[in-house]
Structure 1
Amino acid sequence: MPYVPPPELAALSLAELAAEAAARRLPPLDQWTPERTGDSEMRIAADGTWFHQGGRITRPAMVRAFSGLLTRDGAGQHWLVTPFERLAIAVDDAAFIATDMEVRQDEQGRPVIAFRLNTDEIVLLGPDNPLRVAGSADLPAFYLAVRHGVEARLNRSTYGQLIDHALTVSPVEALAVESMGRRFALAPAA
């Protein structure tokens, strides 16, 4: 059965965005305790491209399947986890890339910001998926928590969309956005 990508973010209502975010069925990685540990011989480049033994993985369905098995430990090491083994995977920057965003209002009129990842997954910015700002004021880097310690880096156009939105809702000197009742500052910590 061929993969059918979800519709463009701009075409989805808040209810549809929430349904898309909740629809992805993921394995219970936090319940698995594999005894075997090894190396996957895989790498995720800074641009989100996946490689195995130096060759690019060109099948999007394989990337989506592997992405559901990713975790990152407290030391920053990324792992592909199955019930039987835990394999190290090299990640140049972040495991995912946020490629688009949209802002909707919930029933109380509060903003909800949705991001689409390079794997077509939709993640809603909020308490469970906060935004982290790194880098410097001259060269900031924005990271969205996805799950199990794994993050998505906002690409340049998505970063631009987020800043444009922030400029419409907050003063430049206190640049921030709100989503799902949480406020996220858009300046790196000093």
Structure 2
Amino acid sequence: MMNNEHNEPNPTKKVAFSDDKNLMGIAQYLKDAQPGHKRSIPPLEHWHPKHCGKMDLTVKANGEWWHEGQLVKRQSLIELFSTVLWKEGHTFYLKTPVEQIEIEVEDEPLFVNQVDQVDIEGKTYLQLTTTTQDLVIVDEQHPIFMREYEGELRPYVHVRFGLNALIQRAAFFHLIELGSLQENAEGDAILSLKSGDLLLQLGT
């Protein structure tokens, strides 16, 4: 139910990247592969490129992207690269049809900053929007869960291809408003949320 429309690039197009894995070269390739200005998620699961080393690109735990020691300030560029994020095991990559380049991700590479409720076929679902314009309908395949990061319990939602999104503080407060807080037998706070037929109970 997610916004994951596929768009296949021209398979005959050949691209040669420089040895330093030039970020702008990849960006130009991705722009050429996507017609118009419509954002789409390519069918990364069908691509089997060679591994081509590591790029000096880091997605910080606070959502910032850094390339070769410089903060990436162009949101349009971040949104473009987010469409080709890929994860194998505990390793993150930028993936194109011809190359798979390792990057560093401190926690998770996607970040939810908006929470809405939408009606689908007579049922009310939670819809989460990321800072890179992913729309995620919370369901059995895309659940919200809690996980510890550096001693802090944080909320996440599964998005795609093994990638999760951190639900940012303001968005999580909105989720609390949409749910109900109770205490369990141990005195811990439990947040109950409903999305369609899915009932979630999250320890906070």
Alignment equivalent of 1:175, drawn from 186, 191, 203: 191
Once the two structures are superposed, what CA deviation does each residue of 1:49-83 show, in whole Å capped at 9, x if it has no partner? 11111111111111111000001122x11111111
How far is the alpha carbon of 1:171 from its aligned partner? 4.5
1:86 and 2:68 aligned: no
| Cα distance between partner residues in 2 of 1:50 and 1:129 | 24
Alignment size in residue pairs = 165
User: What value does the CA root-mean-square deviation take over the aligned residues?
Assistant: 2.3
> 2-side partners of 1:151 and 1:36: how far apart?
22
For 1:72, the aligned partner's letter is K
User: Unaligned stretches of 5+ in structure 2?
Assistant: 6-38, 185-189
Q: Is the 8 A contact 1:40 1:80 kept in 2?
A: no
Q: Contact (CA 8 Å) 2:193, 2:199: kept in 1 or not?
A: yes
1:96 counterpart (90, 110, 126): 110
Secondary structure in structure 2 of the residue aligned to 1:21 = coil
Cα shift at 1:172: 4.7
More strand by share: 2
**Runs ≥4 residues deviating over 4 A:** none
Counterpart among 109, 118, 121 of residue 107 in structure 1: 121
- Of 163, 174, 191, the residue aligned with 1:150 is 163
Letter in 2 for 1:39: K
The answer for the alignment partner of 2:88 in structure 1 is: 73
Counterpart secondary structure, 2:203: coil
Whether the 8 Å contact between 1:166 and 1:177 is mirrored in structure 2 is: yes
Q: 2:3 aligns with which of 21, 45, 49?
A: 21
Instruction: Point out which structure has higher relative CO (alpha carbons under 8 A, 6+ apart).
Output: 1
Q: Aligned with 1:93: secondary structure?
A: coil
Q: Percent identity?
A: 24
* Residues 70 and 57 of structure 1: CA distance in aligned 2, closer, same or farther (over 3 Å): same
1:98-140 per-residue CA deviation (whole Å, 9 max, x = no partner) reads 10101233333x320011111122211112322121139x943
- Alignment counterpart, residue 134 of structure 1, candidates 147, 153, 162: 147
Amino acid at match of 2:87: R
Structure (1 or 2) with the greater helix fraction: 1
Distance 2:93 2:42 in 1: 14
What is the TM-score with the length of structure 1 in the denominator? 0.78
